[in-house]
Amino acid sequence: MSDAPIQVTGLRKTYGERAAVDGIDLRIERGEVFALLGPNGAGKTTTVEILEGFRKRDGGTVSVLGEDPQTAGLAWRNRLGIVLQSSTGLELITPREALASTAKVYRDARPVDEVLAAVGLTDKAGDRIGKLSGGQRRRLDVGLGIIGSPDLLFLDEPTTGFDPQARRDFWELIGSLADGGTTILLTTHYLDEAEHLADRVGVIAAGRMLALDTPANLGGRSSSQATVTWEDAAGTRHTEQTSTPTDLVARLGRELGGEVPKLTVTRPSLEDTYLSLIAPHLAATGGEPELEVVA
């Protein structure tokens, strides 16, 4: 179909009379980091599981690394890395043992020590996995996903349980993987994570793609009116919305003789845009948005 690692046209999946995925089109380019956002029940998990080859579709065409996931074999799966929300059954072995064992099934595995360092587990390499904290377990999950040097990496809520520094360290790792040509599809409820990592963002609700663009342009963010707030010489607070904030600030500077007291210029955040996109669907279903913004 295409040399793009992921190409989807008219994807559909139904359960009874309910369409979990209802005609999604999606193309993800090589080396791109793509974040898929949406409330619970939106169809994110179903879409990703179809792309991973774990769930059959009912309609549409799908190409992942040049093959149909429904019929692709082990050689194709060897090119994927998958980080699930959690892993079980590893409690009695160590991170080093888990990574070394997993590395054996890949043709081009990364060195175990390199992966341990990348996910911040060097000091815990010899501890039993059952003794690790939740955040440390999550780091191991990520390590297991990248040990095989995947061409395409699926990350499902990868930094859940990470502290702020660990999250930023992980962001650097993802950036280095993308720079090396790895294509990454990320699902996350951390909107700051999506904004920092993703080249493009897709918002899905009720099985349909509502918007797809760069984080800066999603839902017309870059062209939305800015809100300018300031105080005049008497200390009175003023707020004005404008499509030309630079001109307004320059005018205020002239009028106030230089610095503009308590000046702020803001545009809709990714959170604002995301909530406005999914609001009609939440109203229809009575659902609640699931997102986190971490300082």
DSSP-based three-state secondary structure for 34: strand
Question: What does the pLDDT read at residue 287?
Answer: 56
Tell me, what DSSP letter sits at residue 123? G
Mean pLDDT of the chain: 89
Output Rg (C-alpha) for the chain, integer angstroms.
22
HSE (CB half, 13 Å, CA atoms) of 135? 10
Q: Which two tokens stand for residue 32?
A: 């791109």
Q: Of the candidates 105, 89, 82, which has an alpha carbon nearest to the alpha carbon of residue 158?
A: 82
What is the Cα–Cα distance from 22 to 13, expressed in whole angstroms?
7
Sequential DSSP letters for 245-266? HHHHHHHHHHHHTS--TT-EEE
pLDDT, average across residues 100-109: 93
- Specify the pLDDT at position 151: 94
pLDDT in tens, 227-243: 999 999 888 999 998 98
Any idea how long the chain is? Answer: 295
DSSP state of 43: S
Judge whether residue 101 has pLDDT over 60: yes
CA 51, CA 79: separation in Å to the nearest integer?
Answer: 13
Backbone angles phi, psi at 126, to 5 degrees: -100, 5
- Joined together, the tokens standing for residue 99 give 């990574």
Give the C-alpha separation, 211 to 194, whole Å. Answer: 14
Return the amino acid letter for 131: K
| Percent of the chain predicted with pLDDT > 70 | 94
pLDDT at 66: 95
- How far apart, in whole angstroms, are the C-alpha atoms of residue 50 and residue 53? 5
- pLDDT, residue 119, reads 85
Residue 292: per-residue pLDDT? 44
What is the rounded (10 degree) CA torsion for 20, 146, 174, 135?
80
What is the arithmetic mean of pLDDT over 262-290? 78
CB 79 within 8 A of CB 152: yes
Distance CA 247, CA 173 (A): 40
Residue 128: both structure tokens together:
């039993």
Coil, strand or helix: which one is 231? strand
Residue 295 has pLDDT above 70, yes or no: no
pLDDT in tens, 127-172: 999 999 887 888 898 899 999 999 999 998 888 777 888 788 888 8
Within 13 Å and on the Cβ side, how many CA atoms surround 139? 29
CA distance 243 to 225: 5
Q: What type of residue is 13? A: K
Please tell me the distance from the alpha carbon of residue 200 to that of residue 195, in angstroms, as a whole number.
Answer: 9
Strands 226-231 and 237-242, by their bridges, are: antiparallel
Please state whether the predicted TM-score (pTM) of the whole model is above 0.95.
no
Mean pLDDT to the nearest integer, 64-92: 89
CA angle 212, 173, 36 (to 5 degrees): 20
User: Is the pLDDT higher at 88 or at 7?
Assistant: 7
- Tell me, what's the pLDDT at 23? 96
Rounded Cα gap, residues 67 and 19, in angstroms: 25
Note whether 92 and 128 are within 8 A (CB).
yes
Q: What is the pLDDT of residue 285?
A: 61
**Overall average pLDDT of the 233-262 stretch:** 91
The winner for highest mean pLDDT among 21-25, 178-182, 192-196, 275-279 is 21-25
